[in-house]
Amino acid sequence: MTSPAIRFRVDFHDRCSVGIGKVRLLEEIERTGSLSQAARDMAMSYRRAWLLIHSLNAGFDAPVVRATVGGRSGGGAKLTPFGRQLIVAYRKLESRLTLLAADYMRGIAAHAARHRRVSVAGGTRPRKSIARSLKRASR
């Protein structure tokens, strides 16, 4: 039996939230030094990545990422100390929540069916097939 996975988002106010996608993007920027490379590595459009970083920078009173333009090195993106602090805090919270979930959900997790997906109708067809069936039925 494995522990349940935790996916969560922290809302600071109605226009400022941090979840696993933004944190992973920050970690990729830290690793690559580039927003465009981080987006490529995550199979995300540059526009989507830029919008996520823009929302983080606008949502806090301190920026999480600073962009550099052109020059010999070609520019890039760099996490600020606040951006690193945000990653660390999120990952610590994730670790604590994972332990809590394992503790509280131990008895429930034992009942999780791993061998098949159950559809709304009670069948065992994979989601993709159901989506295709629904699309065909709506034609």
Does an H or E element contain 84, and which?
helix 81-104
Query: Which CATH number goes with the domain that contains 84?
Result: 1.10.10.10
For the chain, how many structural domains are there in total? 1
102 is a domain residue? yes
| CA distance linking residue 15 with residue 118, whole number of Å | 36
Range of the domain at 76: 9-112
Tell me the pTM.
0.76
120 is a domain residue? no
3-class DSSP state of 31: helix
The beta strands (E) that lie in 1-139 are given as 9-13, 16-19, 65-68, 76-79
| CA distance linking residue 60 with residue 55, whole number of Å | 9
Examine the pLDDT at 66 and tell me if it is beyond 90. Answer: yes
CB 19 within 8 Å of CB 10: yes
Task: Assign 81 a pLDDT band (cuts: 50, 70, 90).
Answer: very high
Mean pLDDT, residues 21-43 taken together:
96
